Chains A and B, each alone.
Chain A
Amino acid sequence: MSDTVTTGAPEPGQASSTLSRRRVLQLGLAAIPAVCGAGLLSGALATSDDVVRGAELEPAGGTYDPSAHDWAFVMDTTICIGCGRCVEACKLENHVPEDPELNRTWVELHVLAKDWTVTVSSPAGGADGTPAQATVPAVADAAVRNAYFVPRTCMQCENPPCTWVCPVSATYQTADGIVLVDEKRCIGCGYCVVACPYGARYMVPAGDTTPKGVAGVVDKCTFCYQRITRGLLPACAEVCPVNARIFGDRNDATSAVSVAIDQKRVRVMKPALGTRPRVFYTGLEGEVD
């Protein structure tokens, strides 16, 4: 049996490119360290990613222990005035693109009619408040049972669909329950955007304002991880004039969020999906998703 793989017999005296089996094996063997080297290089990159992760996990002082926390929000729709300061603060704090269609957090106006149908509107994500003329025309003359503002954000699900659909583990959950995106691993496939039942994700376009200085990756609310790991409130909760966004640690039984969860009638959005959100709501009525 011939030891040479050719696609045709060479003419005598003519130069011809042939590929010997030995050469194929040599190339194959050479490819192994090349792949391993690329792997190590990528591993090094991953390590540098982890430095980014570590920087978030170990802020100034280095005393933050993620496993000791269980962060949560209670959004009190009975007192939210829909001013939109939270949206504005989030954009400033996290360098969210100016595009009004791209938000980490937004505020919706829910109008519950007498027949229990819910109409939702959110002009410019609620960043400029919700002027009366922005109310959906269909409900302008309807008999209204109730109306309230609903602050929205990533639910930081305990069972997040976005993390397990990601093919390269670029989106992950920290020990304190926050779902983050590693912008150096994200391939920009958009699978997590499609998989999120709460519409909390978007793809960062190229431009002057990008959350982590990288375009083409997915971005989402992190509960302002760079702040909460330093003992600060998320920007949206910090600026809320009526304290409608109650943030805290569920592991601390005396925290405002634990008290709110214990003492108020709270519910989560889309409980049937089994995502177990860490964002709770008070005052929701009707079918609200």
Chain B
Amino acid sequence: MSVRLANRELPTDPRVIARAMRLRVAATPRPLRIWYSVLLVLCLVGAVGAVLCLPPGWEVLGTRPSFEWGILISAYVFFAITTSGLCLASSLGTVFGIEMFIPLEKRHAILALLCLVTAFGVIALDLQFPVRMVFGAVLSPSLLSPMWWMGVFYGAYLVFLIVEVLSMFTGRWQLHRVACVLSSITAIVAPTTLGAVFGVLSSRPYWHGAFTPPAMVAAAMLSGTALLGIVFSCVHRFRLAGFERVATLAIPAIRLLLTIILAVTVLVLGWQTAWGLYGDVPGLSDATAAILVGPLALPFWVFRVFMGLVAPLALLALPRTRTPAGLFAASCLAFAGLFADRAIFVSAGQVAPATAVAGVLPSPFAAYVPSLVEISVVVGALAFLALVYTLAELHLPMGEHQGHLAGAFLGSGRLATDAGTAPGTSAGGEEPTGSGRSAPLFDGSGGVL
């Protein structure tokens, strides 16, 4: 008995699988084996943390009533906006037809899907009763709740992404185009709704306001673009499938997009901070003080401002670092800085509560230290994302299909002809020439395992 997947015969007998895996592992290049081993260990650590998170009421998280949302919520927000950002970045090419943003869209879509699954996994571990949520959201919905709408939009987004990925790999381009449009629309709506989850809370002045949802979209664009920068730099470095198009189109496009969105983020952050300094709004001015000179000052100035904004902008601007390696460094810094940004955002809304909570008066600021369990879950989630994406990168046909490139322009027959001349592609609707693995690191047989 066997199944076929992506033109490969996969055995189902456990002994055959075990033997095949041993052979594959033995044939795997050493650096890749180390990479897989590290990720597997981290996934295991995350799995242990996840198991400890499951029993309701176990106080394994560092949260308290005065600081109810911790780093798991930050991680959820981070992954959720990253998945939206990935789709938004790719929509510039797939939906709006801007030629330089016609991406290697398989990577966008797979990354977006993985980030969304990771986000759902993290939020499920933060919830005390995740299964109830599924039934409760359907059977007793609260239409006034932004959290309910967030679930609806991200749920729809998951469906659209699955259709987008499946149609991409099965060559159903009409369906694919529709899925691209729908997922792009949802990719804008979903993070704004996520922003509204925080923005509607008048009890939390730092979060409250119409400013929060669009700021969430800006953060989404930054994180999604930064992740693309990391991936495309790796594709270029390791000469993976389609690296020629990465060099000529994707890397310049990502550099441009990253520069713009970093500049936008600087403005958003600057005004957000200035807003908090004006007047003496309880909760808002206290939170701003906590960020600038209080308990959040170190992560804010070091990770958010310097590492997440100043350094990436410098790397993108300086002539000497306008290289794929420079883009890789800038993207990594921006991506990590964005995680810090979301953690600061979630914390700032709670760090200066304007009232006692369940009888406890946080003074001067509410304290929260993530527990080892929370940290292990976040690390495990990142490792899971990296591991599954690495497997997808090396074992799925990542080369762009001609039909896919043609499908990138909605209602336009122009690309169908233009795409044939695009670097690294060939006419005829087959895998582009040169997009196979001519990689020195990995073998050319479509995989390394």
Stretch of B64-72, B291-299, B320-328 lying at the A interface = B64-72
Point out the residues of chain B lying under 8 angstroms from A187, CB to CB: 127-130, 132-133, 136
Q: How far is the CB of A211 from chain B (nearest CB, A)?
A: 12
Chain B hits for A16, CB < 8 A? 2-4
Cβ A8 vs Cβ B4 within 8 A: yes
Contact B8 A121 (CB under 8 A): no
**Which residue of chain A lies nearest to B65 when distances are taken between CB atoms in the complex?**
A202
**Given A102-B65, A108-B356, A199-B65, A217-B145 contact (CB < 8 Å):** no
Q: Does B382 contact A (CB under 8 A)?
A: no
**How many angstroms between the C-alpha atoms of A71 and B130 in the bound complex?**
34
In the assembled complex, B144 has its CB within 8 A of some CB on chain A: yes
Contact (Cβ within 8 A) A7 B356: no
User: Using a CB-CB cutoff of 8 Å, which residues 144-187 of chain A contact chain B?
Assistant: 152, 161, 164-170, 185-187
Closest chain A CB from B284 CB (angstroms): 14
Any B CB within 8 A of the CB of A120: yes
Report if A167-B147 is in contact (Cβ < 8 Å); known contacts: A152-B359, A187-B129, A191-B197: yes
Q: How far is the CB of B420 from chain A (nearest CB, A)?
A: 26
Quick check: is B361 within 8 A (CB to CB) of the other chain?
Answer: yes
In the assembled complex, B18 has its CB within 8 A of some CB on chain A: no
A60 interfacial by beta-carbon distance below 8 Å: no
The number of residue pairs between A and B whose CB atoms lie closer than 8 Å in the complex comes to: 202
Minimum CB–CB distance for A172 against chain B, Å: 9
Distance, CA A161 to CA B148, complexed state (A):
15
- Asked if B132 contacts A168 (CB within 8 A), the reply is yes
A215 CB–B CB distance under 8 Å: yes
Q: In the docked arrangement, what's the CA distance between A190 and B357, Å?
A: 13
Stretch at the interface among A38-46, A233-241, A248-256: A38-46
* Cβ B201 vs Cβ A194 within 8 A: yes
Q: Smallest distance from the beta carbon of B333 to chain A beta carbons, Å?
A: 30
Q: Which one of B30-38, B55-63, B311-319, B386-394 is at the A interface?
A: B55-63
Looking at A167, A186, A199, A269, the one whose CB has the most chain B CB atoms below 10 A away is A167
CA distance A289 to B141 in the complex (A): 32
Chain B residues lying within 8 Å of A161, measured Cβ to Cβ, are 201-203
Contact: A168 with B201, CB < 8 Å? no
Task: Kindly list chain B residues whose C-beta atoms are within 8 Å of the C-beta of A54.
Answer: none
Is the CB of B135 closer than 8 A to any CB of chain A?
yes
Least CB separation from A119: chain B residue: B363
B359 contact set on A, CB distance < 8 A: 87, 100-103, 105-106, 122, 124-126, 152
Contact A103 B358 (CB under 8 A): yes
Contact assessment for A167 and B361 in the assembled complex, using a CB-CB cutoff below 8 Å: no
Say how far A220's CB is from chain B's closest CB, in angstroms.
9
A193 CB–B CB distance under 8 Å? yes
Q: Which of A14, A17, A38, A101 contacts B65 (CB 8 A)?
A: A101
Tally of contact residues, B, Cβ under 8 A: 61
Q: B140 near A169 (CB under 8 angstroms)?
A: yes
Q: With the chains together, A38 CA to B151 CA distance in Å?
A: 19
CA distance A31 to B135 in the complex (A): 15
A132 to chain B, nearest CB (A): 17
Give the contact stretch, choosing among B214-222, B231-239, B270-278, B347-355.
B347-355
* B185 on the A face (CB < 8 A): no
Q: Which of chain B's residues have a CB closer than 8 A to the CB of A216?
A: 55-57, 128-129
B131-166: contact bitstring with A at CB < 8 Å (1 yes, 0 no)?
Answer: 011011111111011111001000000000000000
Main secondary structure of the interface of A (DSSP, over half): loop
Known A8-B7, A195-B203, A273-B202; judge A14-B2 contact (CB<8 A).
yes
Query: Are A203 and B140 interface neighbours, CB within 8 A?
Result: no
With A168-B140, A169-B141, A191-B147 as given contacts, are A197 and B355 in contact (CB-CB < 8 Å)? yes
- Assembly CA distance A9 to B202 (angstroms): 58
Q: Chain A nearest CB: distance from B2 CB in Å? A: 7
B204 is an interface residue with CB less than 8 A from chain A: yes
User: From B362, which residue of chain A is reached at the shortest CB distance?
Assistant: A199
Asked whether A204 is an interface residue with its Cβ less than 8 Å from the other chain, the reply is yes
Interface string of A235-275 (1 = CB under 8 A from B): 00000000000000000000000000000000001000100
Neighbouring A residues of B56 by C-beta, 8 Å: 188, 206, 214-217
Question: For the complex, is A59 an interface residue (Cβ under 8 Å from B)?
Answer: no
Interchain CA distance A193-B358 in the complex, whole Å: 10
Write out the residue numbers on chain A whose beta carbons fall within 8 Å of the beta carbon of B20: none
Give chain B residues whose Cβ lies under 8 Å from the Cβ of A195.
201, 203
Shortest CB distance B171–A (Å): 12
**Is A283 among interface residues, defined by CB-CB distance under 8 A?**
no
A residues 198-234 touching B (CB-CB < 8 Å): 198-207, 210, 214-217
Chain A residues with CB under 8 Å of B197's CB are 191
Of A5, A39, A194, A199, the contact of B355 (CB 8 Å cutoff): A199
A43 touches B358 (CB 8 A): no
Question: Smallest CB–CB gap between A74 and chain B, Å?
Answer: 20
Known: A5-B170, A195-B201, A273-B203. 15 other contacts (CB 8 A): A15-B2, A16-B4, A46-B139, A46-B140, A100-B359, A101-B360, A108-B356, A125-B359, A169-B136, A185-B136, A190-B69, A193-B65, A202-B357, A215-B56, A217-B129
Q: Could you jot down 30 A-B contacts, CB within 8 Å?
A: A7-B7, A7-B170, A9-B4, A10-B4, A16-B2, A38-B135, A101-B359, A120-B361, A121-B361, A124-B359, A126-B359, A161-B202, A166-B145, A167-B133, A167-B141, A168-B133, A169-B136, A185-B136, A186-B129, A187-B127, A187-B136, A193-B65, A193-B357, A196-B203, A197-B202, A199-B65, A205-B57, A214-B56, A215-B56, A217-B128
